[in-house]
Amino acid sequence: MSEFLQRLKQRKLVQWAVAYAAAAFACLQGIDIVAQRFGWPDVIERGLIIASCIGFFIVLVLAWYHGERGAQRVNGTELLILALLLSLGGAFLWRYTAASQPRTASAPVAPLPAASSVRAIPEKSIAVLPFENLSSDKENAYFAEGIQDEILTRLAKIGALKVISRTSSAHYASSPDNLPEIGKQLGVRSILEGSVQKAGQEVHINVQLIRAATEEHLWAESYNRKLDDIFAVEGEVAGTIAGQLNARLTGAEKKVLAQKPTSNSAAYDSYLRGLGQLEEATDNSLNAAVHSFEEAVRIDPQFALAWAKLCRAHSMIYFHYIDRSEARRTAAANALAEAVRLQPQLPETQLAKADFQYWVLLNYKAARDLLQQLHQSWPSNADILRDLGWDLARLGEWEKSAEDLDEAISLNPRDLYLRQTAIGGRLALRDFATALRMLDDALQIWPDDTRLLDSKALVFQALGQLDQAQTIVDRLHPGADRVGTNAIVNQARLRRTPAIALPYFKALGEQATVNLSDTADLIDFARLLELSGDKTKARAIFSKARDAAEAALKEQPDNAFPIALLGYALAGLGERDAALNRIEQAVDLTANDARNHGTVEEIKARVLTRFGENDRAIVLLQHLLKIPHDGPGEAPLTPALLRLDPDFDPLRGDPQFKKLCQEQ
C-alpha cells in the first residue's frame, strides 16, 4: 500500500484532484450567479453539476496514466482501486439523475398546468399585500405601509424572485379571503400577509407566507423589536422568504438584505412617511414627500437612502412643471450629490441618478444607459422598467419600449396608468391588433374606465371602422373634466356631425379663465365650431386658447406643449407667420424627443394645410405615415384618417395625397 501511495505522489494525483475540485467549485459559483440573473431552468444547473462530477473521475484516470514520465505500468491492486473509484462515480451519477426524474407509480399522476399558465406564474413569485395597522394611533398607517414597502423592496433585489409592485398589491385588503383569485390576478404563486403594531419605540410585526392557490401556510413568524432594530427584521423576513421559495441568494444580495440605512429611528420614521407621499404622486403629496425626506436627512445627514428619495421627489416636481424653477433644479442636484457621496453604488442612488438625467436634464441616452444597468441588479423593480420604456420611446426605440413596458406590466398588473401608456405605445407603432388585445385585457379589470374605452374607439377610428368606433363612443359619458372626449371629438369630425360633440365643451367656453390643461380642449371646441359653420364663435374660442397658452408660457417658457398649442390657436386666428414660428419653435424643442416630436409635426402639417402650403404639408404627411408617433388626438396618422379627416380637405385633389390615402 505504501508503494501505491508513493506512486500517487509521483503522478501528482492528489494535486490534480485538489486543483480540479477548486476550479470546478469556482466555475459552479459563477454559473449559479449567471443562472439566477437569466432565469435558467434548474435542470441546466443540475446537468452542469453532473458533468463536473464525471469530469472529476476522468481527471483522476488521466492524471494516473499521464503522470510522471517513466512511471511503472499499473498493477492489479492499482487497477482494482481505480475501478472502485469509477464505480463510485457511476453510482453517484446514477443516484443523482434518478433522484431528479419523476417517480413512476401505479397511482394516477396529476396533470400539469398548461404551458402558458406556467410561464405566466413562475414558481418563485410573490406579492406582498398591505400590512394591517394594529396601532392604537391610526395615523401610524404610513408606518405599516412603509415596513411593507421596505420588505418588498428587499425582495425585489433578489434576482431569482418575481416580486409584484406595491402599486398593484395596494389594491387589496390586508387579509383577503380570496387568495387563489388574487394569486391569478397578480400572477404569483405565493403571498405575504402581515400586520404592524407600533407603540412608542416598540414595534410588533407578524408575517405569514401563504401558497396562493391552496391557501396553505408555508411559514409564519412574530417579531418584537425596538424601532432602531427594525432593519434586521426587514432583512430577515426577506431572506427567510427567499429560502422558503428556494431562491438562492448571491453574496451581494445577502449584503443588501443586511444593510442598515440609518441608526436614527426618528429619521427612519420621517423617511417612511415620505415613501407613502411619494407613491401618491400628486402635486401636494410630492411637496409633502420633499418635506418628509428633508426632515429625515436633517436628523441624519448620513442617510443616503433618504437623500436619493429626496432627489427623486424634486426631479418629479421639476419634470411635471409643478415647479420648474432653477432653485428646484439645484435642490434635486444637491440631493443627488449627497446620495452619491455617501453611497454611490446603492441601487436607489443609481435610480435617483437616472431620474435626474431623465426628468431634469432631459438626457434620455444617459438615463437609458443607467436604467438598463440598474435593471440587471434590480430585476423586479417595475418602476425601472416603466421609466426605461418611457425613456426609450423618447429616443425613438419604440419596439424596445413596448417590450419593457410589457415586462413592467407583468410586475405591476394593476397599475392603470402604466397600462394606458403601454397601450399608447402600441398605438404609436400602429400595432392595432396588439393594442386591441391589451385594451380588452385591461377592460377585464377596469370595465368602465373612460380612458380605456376612449383608446379603443381611437383604434377603430384609425382603421377607418367608424361603425365599430360608434359602439364604443356611445358608452362614453365624460364628466366636467372632459376625460374621454378624444374619441367623441374624432367621431364627430370624421363623420362631420360636430353638433353631437359641441355640448361637452359648452361649460368650458363660458369659463372666465382657463388653465393650460384646458387649452387643448379649447382648440378642439374651436375646430368643431368651424366645422359647424360658426366662424365667429370659433374665432372667439381660438382667442381664448391663445391667451391661456401665452399665460402658461410666462411660467414655462421652454415647454413645447403650450408653444405648439399657441401656434395652433394663432393659425385658427389666421396669423400665419406667428403660428408657423411658434410651431417651428416647438419642433426644435422636441427634436430629441421622438415621443412628442411626431405630435408637433402633425400639428405643423395641419397648419400648413390650413394656409394652403400643400406641397410642404404632403411631404410632412409622407414622413409621418412612416414613423411611429403620438398624434394630437392620441392616435397616429393613418391612410384611413387622411381619407376621412376634414382638416385635409384642401389636399383631396392632389394625386400625391390621393396615393397616401390609399396606402396600407
Residue 534 sits in a domain whose CATH number is 1.25.40.10
Strands 216-226 and 190-199: unpaired
- Note whether residue 126 is domain-resident: yes
Write down which residue in 258, 273, 298 finishes a domain.
Answer: 258
Write down which residue in 227, 258, 289 finishes a domain.
Answer: 258
pLDDT at 326 over 90: yes
Looking at the structure, tell me whether residues 341 and 234 fall in a common domain.
no
Looking at the structure, tell me whether residues 517 and 609 fall in a common domain.
yes
What's the confidence (pLDDT) of residue 336?
A: 98
pLDDT at 101 over 70: no
- Note whether residue 444 is domain-resident: no
pLDDT one-digit tens code per residue, 33-65: 555 444 454 445 556 666 666 666 665 666 655
Instruction: Give the mean pLDDT of 151-158.
Output: 92
Helix and strand numbers, DSSP H then E, in the chain? 32, 6
What's the confidence (pLDDT) of residue 377?
A: 85
Looking at the structure, tell me whether residues 459 and 374 fall in a common domain.
no
Looking at the structure, tell me whether residues 20 and 50 fall in a common domain.
yes
The residues, ordered by sequence, that sit 6+ positions from 235 with a Cβ below 8 Å of its Cβ are 154, 257, 258, 259
Q: What range defines the domain where residue 45 resides?
A: 2-100
- Note whether residue 263 is domain-resident: no
- Note whether residue 110 is domain-resident: no
- What phi, psi does 430 have (nearest 5°)? 60, 30
Please say whether the beta carbons of 121 and 411 come within 8 A.
no
Number of domains in the chain: 4
Looking at the structure, tell me whether residues 85 and 125 fall in a common domain.
no
Confidence class for position 102, pLDDT limits 50, 70, 90 = very low
Write down which residue in 34, 66, 100 finishes a domain.
Answer: 100
Query: How far is the CA of 502 from the CAs of 239, 491, 518, in angstroms?
Result: 60, 12, 15
What's the confidence (pLDDT) of residue 453?
A: 96
Confidence class for position 121, pLDDT limits 50, 70, 90 = confident
pLDDT one-digit tens code per residue, 406-431: 999 999 999 999 999 999 999 999 99
Q: Is 99 exposed, middle or buried, given 0-12, 13-18 or 19+ CB atoms closer than 10 A?
A: exposed
The three cell numbers locating residue 209: 407566507
pLDDT one-digit tens code per residue, 435-461: 999 999 999 999 999 999 999 999 999
Query: How far is the CA of 4 from the CAs of 71, 73, 355, in angstroms?
Result: 12, 12, 68
What's the confidence (pLDDT) of residue 104?
A: 32
Looking at the structure, tell me whether residues 295 and 385 fall in a common domain.
yes
Question: If you average pLDDT over each of 87-96, 223-232, 346-355, which comes out highest?
Answer: 346-355
- Note whether residue 373 is domain-resident: yes
**Sign of the alpha-carbon torsion through 355, 359, 360, 363:** positive
- Note whether residue 508 is domain-resident: yes
What CATH number should be reported for the domain holding residue 150?
3.40.50.10070
- Pick from 30-34, 133-137, 293-297, 499-503: least confident: 30-34
Question: C-alpha angle 494/500/504, rounded to 5°?
Answer: 110
Partners of 204 in the beta sheet?
197, 224
- Note whether residue 72 is domain-resident: yes
The residues, ordered by sequence, that sit 6+ positions from 637 with a Cβ below 8 Å of its Cβ are 602, 621, 624, 625, 629, 631
Confidence class for position 5, pLDDT limits 50, 70, 90 = low
d(CA 274, CA 286): 9
pLDDT one-digit tens code per residue, 390-404: 999 999 999 999 999
Looking at the structure, tell me whether residues 287 and 389 fall in a common domain.
yes
Looking at the structure, tell me whether residues 534 and 647 fall in a common domain.
yes
Looking at the structure, tell me whether residues 96 and 176 fall in a common domain.
no
Looking at the structure, tell me whether residues 420 and 349 fall in a common domain.
yes
- Pick from 34-38, 121-125, 175-179, 540-544: least confident: 34-38
Looking at the structure, tell me whether residues 11 and 71 fall in a common domain.
yes
- Pick from 42-46, 149-153, 658-662: least confident: 42-46
- Note whether residue 113 is domain-resident: no
Looking at the structure, tell me whether residues 581 and 642 fall in a common domain.
yes
Average pLDDT, the chain: 86
pLDDT at 470 over 60: yes
